[in-house]
Chain A
Amino acid sequence: MLINTVILFLRDALPFFVLLSLLLSVLAARPKWLSLSVLAGVVGSLLLLNQIDQLSQLLGGAGMELMLFACHVIVYLASALFIYLYLQNLKVGLEVKDQLATLQGIAGVIIATSLLINGASFLIYFVSFWSQADAPQSMFLGTILGSGICLSIAVLLYFSMLWLKQVFGPISVVLALVLYASGQLADAVSLLVQVDWLGHSGALWDISSIIPDQSEFAHLFNALIGYRASPSYQQVGLYVVACILPLLVYCWLMTGGALKLMPSIRPSKTAGRTQEQK
């Protein structure tokens, strides 16, 4: 039970810790919003736990998968919006603090939804097996070890991102967030395939002999960039589109489209100074 709990943390909780590191490296502020969004995620998971059995039986047994896929789409769209607003701020010369409340709100949605994705299955595991004879001690130790490993990776990633941000600029954090959100979305395609809402397209490549999916490195890379040893054509296609789309939209808006659609965001270096003077 101890090992199971640790593995469960590595597989299901690590992506959440990675997400926290990435968002905190952008929003380097006192994370009051963090407590609220985590609380919202936990409450949502508890509500879901109550209905998960019925939900899984909906739509011919596809209810749970469709809900989880919808959550992944929400996380991706919210991340894309977060990236867009963050880049827009930098472009018009504003500091993050000028739009902090909006960015925190979006980050809150991302965190709460991400927590909901794995929170309910985590709770099912703990609620179901806690009453077993020797389970509480093993599960407690497993939780300490698992969360310790996840937290260590998260802290390391957080400081790495701060360093990368200093050396290569904010685009490094943006790219990391784009890769993370796209990877999680592409990985969720298998949810639709397993309930037959989407046909299986076959694997584009198979490198399971180099980094098998069950290895620790695979878990880490999966959390960071959505790694799969043998991804399908659909997953790779969606991944590429999901990576490129937010950056293309941003470029389009910032070059010509933005001026036509939203004249108010015309790039101006004085805008930032005016805000600061106020």
Chain B
Amino acid sequence: MLSLRSFLLLFAVLGLDAKAVEEFTIELRQHLFYPSRIHVPAHKKVKLIIHNLDERPEEFDSFDLNREKMLFPGRLTTIFIGPLKPGEYTFFGEYHPNAARGLVIANEPAQGEQHAH
């Protein structure tokens, strides 16, 4: 019979822990992402909350981040990214790839910010 410890271990392995992650909000307006450049800490999982303010759906897409998610009109959509290595990661709206473009910039946390959360 599985003990509580086994369950906790299983959850830890699956990454289902309830650790708080930093949140970043992005708005989609007129097929443009605001802000289009998001600075996130490197080596940490972060949560992107995207609010589609357009009247039509869009698909958040990123080859660099390996993410793809439908953004429904008027809805808040959550996408988890990272932990990322320091660098730049592009994302775009699949239905308007020329207009809806953005950049996630993962920065190395400064000394002393390692345990900010």
Contact = CB atoms under 8 A, between A and B. Distances in A.
A121 B63 contact: no
Nearest to A54: B72
Given A53-B75, A64-B70, A124-B70, A196 B57 contact: no
Contact of B80 (A125, A194, A213, A229): A194
A129 B56 contact: yes
Nearest to B18: A196
B9 interface: no
Interface string A214-236: 10000000000000111000000
B79 A194 contact: yes
B72 A56 contact: yes
A31 interface: no
Contacts of A194: 67-69, 79-81
A213 B62 CA distance: 10
25 contacts: A4-B94, A4-B95, A8-B94, A52-B70, A53-B72, A56-B72, A56-B77, A61-B76, A61-B78, A64-B69, A64-B70, A65-B69, A129-B56, A190-B67, A194-B68, A194-B79, A194-B81, A196-B15, A197-B14, A198-B15, A200-B83, A202-B83, A212-B63, A213-B63, A214-B63
B66 A190 contact: yes
B45 interface: yes
Contacts of A129: 56, 95
Interface residues of B, number: 28
Interface in A115-130: 121, 124-125, 128-129
A199 interface: yes
Contact of A57 (B47, B63, B69, B75): B75
A263 interface: no
- 8 tightest CB-CB pairs across the interface, nearest first? A199-B15, A213-B63, A196-B80, A61-B78, A128-B56, A214-B63, A190-B66, A53-B72
Contacts of A256: none
A56 B78 CA distance: 10
A193 B95 CA distance: 23
Interface in B8-50: 14-16, 45, 47
Contacts of B56: 128-129
Contacts, number: 75
B97 interface: yes
B29 to A, nearest CB: 17
Contacts of A213: 63, 66
Given A190-B67, A202-B83, A60 B97 contact: no
B82 interface: yes
A199 B82 CA distance: 9
Contacts of A197: 14-16
A129 B72 CA distance: 13
Contacts of B82: 200
Interface string A110-146: 0000000000010011001100000000000000000
Given A8-B94, A129-B95, A228 B66 contact: yes
Interface in A3-49: 4, 7-8
